[in-house]
């Protein structure tokens, strides 16, 4: 059975800290890994990763995929209170299969 495991489940940091969120996956016919940020209800798309070792970057957020070790990390530098959210990682297989989600990491950034 396909599964995605995220760690830690929750994290509390101070503004300005750098955080690393982890995601390991076991997905049959793996094609891509996606990161989402969920603040209230709707997850908003952050990154899609398909190739190992190529960092994707957006502002203070960056992510990288390791297809040999089957994991990905999401880094957030100089954290702000607006970064507080649940960060979801999901694996995607070949074809039109649904995403397989991890349970998420709840990040709380305190001033």
Partner 1 sequence: GAGVSQSPSNKVTEKGKDVELRCDPISGHTALYWYRQSLGQGLEFLIYFQGNSAPDKSGLPSDRFSAERTGGSVSTLTIQRTQQEDSAVYLCASRLRTDTQYFGPGTRLTVL
Binding site for partner 1 (CB under 8 A): 4, 31-32, 34, 36, 40-45, 48, 50, 88, 90, 92, 96-104
Report d(CA 52, CA 96) in Å as an integer.
22
Half-sphere exposure of 32 (CA within 13 A, CB side): 12
Contact 74, 88 (CB under 8 A): no
Residue 12 CB, nearest approach to partner 1 (Å)? 17
Query: Bridge-partner residues for 75, per DSSP?
Result: 20, 62
The tokens describing 108, both together, are 């709380």
Residue 20 CB, nearest approach to partner 1 (Å)? 20
Residue 8 CB, nearest approach to partner 1 (Å)? 14
Residue 40 CB, nearest approach to partner 1 (Å)? 8
Strand (E) or helix (H) holding 56: strand 56-58
Q: Which is nearer to partner 1, 27 or 64 (CB)?
A: 27
Q: Which is nearer to partner 1, 62 or 93 (CB)?
A: 93
Q: Which is nearer to partner 1, 17 or 93 (CB)?
A: 93
């Amino acid at each position: 059975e396909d599964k995605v495991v995220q760690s830690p489940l929750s994290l509390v940091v101070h503004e300005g800290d750098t955080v690393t969120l982890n995601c390991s996956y076991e997905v049959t016919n793996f094609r891509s890994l996606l990161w989402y940020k969920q603040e209230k209800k709707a997850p908003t798309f952050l990154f899609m990763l398909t190739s190992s070792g190529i960092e994707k970057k957006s502002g203070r957020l960056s992510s990288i995929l390791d297809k040999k070790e089957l994991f990905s990390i999401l880094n957030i530098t100089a954290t702000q209170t607006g970064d507080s959210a649940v960060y979801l990682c999901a694996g995607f297989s070949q074809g039109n299969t649904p995403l397989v989600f991890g349970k998420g990491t709840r990040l709380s950034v305190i001033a």
